[in-house]
Amino acid sequence: TGTWTLPEDQGLAHAEALGHDFHRFLRKHHLWAKTAVVGVPAKWVVGKSITIPPTKRENLMSLLAIQAEQAFSLNYQDLVFDYSGHISPSQSNTILLVAMQRQRLEQIKALIKSAGLQCSSITPSAAAMSSLSGGSSRPYCGIYAQNGHCDYCLCQEGSVQAIKHVPM
């Protein structure tokens, strides 16, 4: 195993160069992965719990687009969004609507591609770590602590209910 940390001073502005650096890191540590799940800090995403009416799966993305436009103060066109929770065609449900800046997502994808990897998923690190619980039906909290901050993820019934970034 190994840990490669995104240099704080560079951010993702030079994603391609960072990807090449990451590729060298992988080879140096004899890591030959072809695909990657990318964990991002919770401060890079915004989440809001919303209640949606009964809906069919084919109508879901249109409904979520409307909800995202209303829920987040950032320009809707600059966001990529997803959700966590259960959707039902017969009853209302509360889900977690999550958004990330489109530009940041594209930079992450460019970094991963430059590293010679295929990206299978981009998710908050705390949510990725919480998924290791094995889908417990009991509520649980995943905590991802690093220098200067802590991200936590509240999960219930196999889905993320809340995600939060807390500086220390």
- How does pLDDT run across 134-156, given as a tens digit for each residue? 656 678 787 888 788 888 888 88
In this prediction, residue 124 carries a pLDDT of 85
8-state DSSP, 85: S
Q: What is the Cα–Cα distance from 115 to 99, expressed in whole angstroms?
A: 25
The larger pLDDT score, comparing residue 26 to residue 11, is at 26
Q: What is the Cα–Cα distance from 16 to 109, expressed in whole angstroms?
A: 10
pLDDT at 57 over 70: yes
In this prediction, residue 7 carries a pLDDT of 75
Structure-token match 């509360």, residue found: 94
Q: What is the per-residue pLDDT across 81-123, written as a single tens digit (0 to 9) for each?
A: 888 888 899 999 899 999 999 999 999 999 999 999 999 989 8
Mean pLDDT score of the chain, rounded to an integer?
Answer: 85
Residues ≥6 apart with Cβ < 8 Å to 132: none
CA angle (51, 56, 62) in 5-degree steps? 70
CA angle (147, 133, 135) in 5-degree steps? 135
For 75, other C-beta atoms within 10 Å of its C-beta total: 10
pTM: 0.81
Q: Do β-strands 118-124 and 35-40 pair in parallel, antiparallel, or remain unpaired? A: parallel
- Which among 74, 63, 83 has a CA at the least distance from the CA of 161? 83
Per DSSP, which regions of the chain are E strands? 35-40, 45-52, 79-84, 93-101, 118-124, 140-146, 149-156, 159-167
